[in-house]
Amino acid sequence: MENEAGALSRVAGLFSARGYNIESLTVAPTEDPSLSRMTLVTRGTEEIIEQITKQLHKLIDVVKLMDMTDGPHIEREMLLVKLHAEGDRREELKRLADIFRGRIIDVSDRTYTVELTGDGAKLDAFLQVLEPGAIIEVVRSGVSGIARGDRSLKL
Amino acid sequence: MTSGELLVELTGAEIFVRALQAEGVEYIFGYPGGAVLHIYDALYNQDKVKHVLVRHEQAATHAADGYARSTGRPGVVIVTSGPGATNAVTGIATAYMDSIPMVVFTGQVPTHLIGNDAFQEADNIGITRPCVKHDFLVKDVNNLAETIKKAFYVATTGRPGPVVVDIPKDVTAEKAEFSYPDRVSMRSYNPVHVGHAGQIKRAVKLMLGAKRPMLYTGGGVILGNASAALTRLARELNFPVTNTLMGLGAYPATDPQFVGMLGMHGTYEANMAMHHCDVLIAVGARFDDRVTGNIEKFCPNARIVHIDIDPASISKNVKVDVPIVGCVDNVLRVMLSTIADTERRPDAAALEEWWRQIDEWRAKDCLRFDRDSELIKPQYVVEKLYEVTQGDAYVTSDVGQHQMWAAQYYKFDKPRRWINSGGLGTMGFGLPAAMGVQFAHPDATVACVTGEGSIQMCIQELSTCLQYRLPIKVVNLNNRYLGMVRQWQEFFYQKRYAMSYMESLPDFVKLAESYGHVGMQIEKPADVEGALREAMQLKDRLVFMNFMTDQTENVYPMIPAGGGQNEMILI
């Protein structure tokens, strides 16, 4: 998308005006400062996805659009989670974080903050194995995506 | 950028005016206010771009819209910040729904005050975003000229639409070197022009094999200046043609191949032909719910070709078999040459049978009405308007029963003659739109067919009409009811006429006179034609004709909600 004021709100406005659902949305500038890249996750029948694609194309800020699910692709999302970590729990939480290849990035005498990256399902799985009551706060970045192999979204 | 010119420093306001001059803008419709005073000062100092002072900003947008619809050139509007901009929203949304090219300049508070809840501040860009094709906020005077160029480019190309340019007051005071670009390119905006050749061949093959073909054409044919190509194609193939409400005039209504308007209040023959056709060619039409009726029952036997400039219109409501994205004029011309190059001809025997069937439907005479009534029938007024103006008037309308009667009984033979708010259905559109049309065509007859409900939504514009001596002929079909609401209440709410009766109507004759115009009161059928003739002879006066019509007349045929196209209520 053009990296301009209002571009994000045009996309968000389109989804709300036409009753489409945004599951997650991430946006940041690219190596070309005039362009931003947005990864948006939505859900719908083939017809709805086709309409969403066409309507997005019509937005003048949208420079290029690619449906990642048309081919093999990689999805990544980052999770930051702050956990109660006291007494015996500290060791257990450290082990769980290791199993999921998470990293403990902040420690206090009562808490751990864990950083974990992966697809949405992996992050869900991690949150599920934590014992109830362990979680103080969860931050998820939303999904970023990139195509596998030679396929790329580039001008 | 143009080169070789000596660049001069101008204020933003002067740049604004010079840019409009460079765009060839004849008229700008607007209303002054604090945030746009620099611009008004710059407008005052020149006479190329003529400013039209309306009485309410909604009317500025409708007038610009009427100008655009009747000429094909973009309508231009200027309003001040805050309430100026919010008043303009209805007109912007009206233009958006009907894809009308328009550039609306809104004043904004100075940049350092934006977001401060300053006096007359509103988030103009945010408020108009869902009803514009695109919008721009100009924060730097150095970008002003190029932004204006882009605004006109976006508004007038591809599927046209309104563009808002929000200009903070300080930007109009600051100075920059002025040069107006000859062209702009935008990497993310490249409208398609030419249709896909393979798809056009497939479409032609389907059309030539049709036994019961139907051309269903919409506002896109008018916007895309494709009437001539459409008419040639229809005649070449001997196919029946129906127009949508927005498409009337794209094909001559007096032509025997025209079966009338389709849809909720379309003719019996048009809707029946739609229902029974085997190949449907949709041209610049968008399968609106008022056209399709119940989508499950729409054209059950047809394979569908759809030509449209907007890919998002294709297969939005109805799945089509042969989509063609491109300018309708271009695609129709390629179709014509493709047909000329093939030896195959349409199936004459099948078409003869199809026309026999259509004539049978026509014989129902679905638009008949009681001609012996002692009350003035609104249909009769429109019919007489057609006769008296010899079918050559520009007709604007508001929204409701009168709009449908105007569409059904005035036979438009030319495009851009029928000016109405089809998509948004904006009451109050008719009179200000007629002003825009009259500015564009000063010598033409411009009639505004309206009702006593709609006309009161922008009646203040009678004052504008006097200021500029606009000799509009207002045909007020006054039945003392919000007629379309009343009709639905009669049919679907067991005659519980909730709030559809208007008490305390003004004396429209005196009202017109107090605005300096001619008022006429017509109460008997025998006086209708005479009044219309007299009004048309007053060439330099606005005449407000108040026809007291049958209060309980309904619009027929009608497809009730949820009905298929073959399920019409007939008179």
ipTM of the modeled complex: 0.90
* pLDDT on residue B1: 46
Cβ–Cβ contact B129 with A under 8 A: yes
B-chain residues near A57 (CB < 8 A): 311-312
pLDDT under 50 in chain B at which residues?
1, 3
Query: A58, B312: Cβ pair inside 8 Å?
Result: yes
Count of pairs with CB atoms under 8 A, one residue in A, one in B: 37
Cβ–Cβ contact A61 with B under 8 A: yes
Query: A61, B188: Cβ pair inside 8 Å?
Result: yes
Mean pLDDT of chain A: 95
Of B130, B134, B316, the CB nearest to A13: B130
Interface mutation target, options A60, A63, A153, chain B, most CBs of B under 10 Å: A60
Query: B134, A60: Cβ pair inside 8 Å?
Result: yes
Question: At B525, which helix (H) or strand (E)?
Answer: helix B525-537
Question: Residues 16-35, chain A: which have Cβ within 8 Å of B?
Answer: 17
By the 8 A CB rule, do B376 and B550 touch? yes
B-chain residues near A62 (CB < 8 A): 188
Q: In angstroms, rounded to a whole number, what is the distance separating the alpha carbons of residues A141 and A25? A: 9
A-chain residues near B130 (CB < 8 A): 13, 17
* pLDDT on residue B5: 58
Show which residues of B are catalytic. 57, 119-120, 169, 484
Of B134, B188, B311, the CB nearest to A63: B188
* pLDDT on residue A155: 84
B-chain residues near A51 (CB < 8 A): 312, 316
Q: In angstroms, rounded to a whole number, what is the distance separating the alpha carbons of residues A79 and B503? A: 65
Question: What DSSP designation does B112 have?
Answer: G
Candidates B366, B416, B365, B405; CA nearest to B383 is B405
Q: What is the pLDDT of residues A93-131, one digit of tens each?
A: 999 999 999 999 999 999 999 999 999 999 999 999 998
What SS3 state is found at B481?
A: strand
Cβ–Cβ contact B8 with A under 8 A: no
* pLDDT on residue B192: 86
Query: B137, A5: Cβ pair inside 8 Å?
Result: yes
By the 8 A CB rule, do B135 and B129 touch? yes
Cβ–Cβ contact B318 with A under 8 A: no
Q: What is the pLDDT of residues B386-443, one digit of tens each?
A: 999 999 999 999 999 999 999 999 999 999 999 999 999 999 999 999 999 999 999 9
Beta-carbon contacts of residue B424 (< 8 Å; ≥ 6 apart): B90, B93, B94, B96, B97, B98
Cβ–Cβ contact B311 with A under 8 A: yes
Is there a cis peptide before residue B130, judged by omega within 30 degrees of 0?
A: no
By the 8 A CB rule, do B511 and B485 touch? no
**Which range among A5-9, A73-77, B99-103 shows the weakest confidence by mean pLDDT?**
A5-9
Interface mutation target, options A4, A11, A45, A54, chain B, most CBs of B under 10 Å: A54
Positive or negative torsion for Cα B384, B390, B393, B396: positive
Residues B563, B484, B542, CA angle at the centre, nearest 5°?
135
Candidates B407, B410, B366; CA nearest to B392 is B410
* pLDDT on residue B27: 98
